[in-house]
Structure 1
């Protein structure tokens, strides 16, 4: 079983708790296909998918996309029985811990992120995400890469949330410099960073490499604050890397993050740096 650590810092493990439901949906698809007098090849052609994918869905070894169920319901005259599972399959495509992380981010009114190795997951373009997942060792299957990319894209809906949360990002200078995916992928990623940095509720800062003093030596920091005054935070260099909620522990993470922000370039200076990097491509 693949274990993936999300860029926000929480470990994510694809779970099999929804396997019976996926298998039930697969059996239902087969029943409606056969009732419609269609072979696997016929349904595959009508759906514009490969026969192998249809067989995997019917065997319950592949989670169907919601839009697949929507179209299949219409083609097979399932009268809403397949469409009824669209939301379940949407949730099933994402690991349980990632669903929990997304729920935390949906509740947060302020989010603080310091990233030292890669561009933070909430700031990544789909192409950048795929390249990162594709470089994991041992290699992930194409299906896992696509699933994790789709799951991370769902998290990006936070930028369109109302009321908008406050988001603060500090990125090590090496993260926008490292050519993940090559020149064109990096170009689009840098353009996206500039676009996001223009949002009124977003602060994006770069920590320069040549800084003599650096409060981020302990690695990534993530703090999510909620409307009721509670919060949760995590850093691999503190509290054995486990998530913490006690005010005393959170104060340590916030103190470190505050120092990092003070040492980093201002948002304006950071934009200028990203523009210079973009101009070199």
Structure 2
């Protein structure tokens, strides 16, 4: 007779199970969220969001929890399963999500929209909704995207550089207030020492990456891969020659872009225009 399988009352959904286990480990240790935050050096609100399933956090948080609880790679493994869960990201993005979380540097070119690491909640919601998402699926995808943003503010945050086509900045949200908030967020993130933001003006003319969003991800072992995406498909480029060719194109585009300081002034002027529009409406 086959052995009876034990079934627990815990969630079988990877994201929710991750949240449950993180909460269970803390409660078994008998510490509050604030005490845990003090021990780990993380914001208690971030840990609270982990336990509520509102964010997955980063691999650094997972490793810190494993170290604190003495559970080698357990929390990290559950984090990886949650990230790879198809309900969090579409199939073609799951490999990219893991590479992004492990990268020591990311170089990005934005032809159509801001990188997910730079998006506000409302920007992400409107962008994803425009692609056909709705209901609970939309809520899940927005929360997943918000969780990704924490990658840039961790103690071991990667170096992040983005070149943003002016066309992206000329495609505002429907709500002027939320668009101002997105521009403000862009300026705020750009102040971080690990983030460099360039604006590529339309006056730069034709260039080597006209219709392709591109991200270069360099891992700790020095290997670089590229993720290229159009409006219909995404592709992971791993061949050394192909990646090098894309890097040459990226460098040519960066040469055409404004410096981070000039870009900050450009975005600042757009923010002032947005605020003026709000005042006129009011």
**TM-score, normalised via structure 2 length:** 0.65
Q: Secondary structure at the match of 1:242?
A: strand
SS at match of 1:278: helix
Distance in 1 (alpha carbons) for counterparts of 2:104 and 2:16: 33
- What's the CA shift for 1:141? 2.6
Could you tell me how far apart the structure 2 residues matched to 1:126 and 1:65 are?
Answer: 24
Q: Report the equivalent of 1:194.
A: 187
Tell whether the 8 Å contact from 1:128 to 1:181 is kept in structure 2 after alignment.
no
Relative distance call for 1:210 and 1:244 in structure 2 (3 A) is: same
1:244 aligns with 2:228: no
Correspondent of 2:199 among 199, 202, 206: 206
Q: Return 5+ residue gaps in structure 1 as ranges.
A: 1-23, 30-56, 75-83
Q: Residues 134, 68 of structure 1: CA spacing in aligned structure 2 closer, same or farther, 3 A cutoff?
A: farther
Pair 1:68–1:247, CA change in 2 (3 A): closer
Matched, 1:106 2:106: no
Give 2:123's aligned residue: 128
- Hey, what does 1:180 align to over in structure 2? 173
- Picking from 159, 167, 170, the partner of 2:152 is 159
What is the CA–CA distance in structure 2 between the aligned matches of 1:279 and 1:230, rounded to whole Å? 41
- 1:271 is paired with a residue whose SS is helix
Shift in Å, 1:213: 4.0
Aligned alpha-carbon RMSD (Å)? 3.1
Q: Which residue of 2 aligns with 1:169?
A: 162
Match of 2:251 in 1: 258
**5+ residue gaps in structure 2?**
1-6, 28-50, 54-74, 275-282
Shift of 1:177: 2.4
Q: Indicate conservation of the 8 Å contact 1:177/1:277, yes or no.
A: no
**Residues 201-241 of structure 1: CA distance to partner in whole angstroms, max 9, x if unpaired?**
1110011012234222242111101121211103248xx96
1:98-132 deviation digits (Å, cap 9, x = unpaired) = 44323211221111110111111111001110111
Q: Number of residue pairs matched?
A: 211
CA distance 1:276–1:65, change in 2 (3 Å) = farther
**TM-score where L is the length of structure 1:** 0.66
The structural deviation recorded for 1:68 is 8.0
Q: Which runs of 4+ in 1 moved over 3 A?
A: 63-71, 86-90, 95-100
**1:6-41 alpha-carbon deviations (Å, 9 max, x no partner):** xxxxxxxxxxxxxxxxxx77xx37xxxxxxxxxxxx
Give, in whole Å, the separation in 2 of the partners of 1:179 and 1:65: 37
Q: In the alignment, is the contact (CA less than 8 A) between 2:92 and 2:234 conserved in 1?
A: no
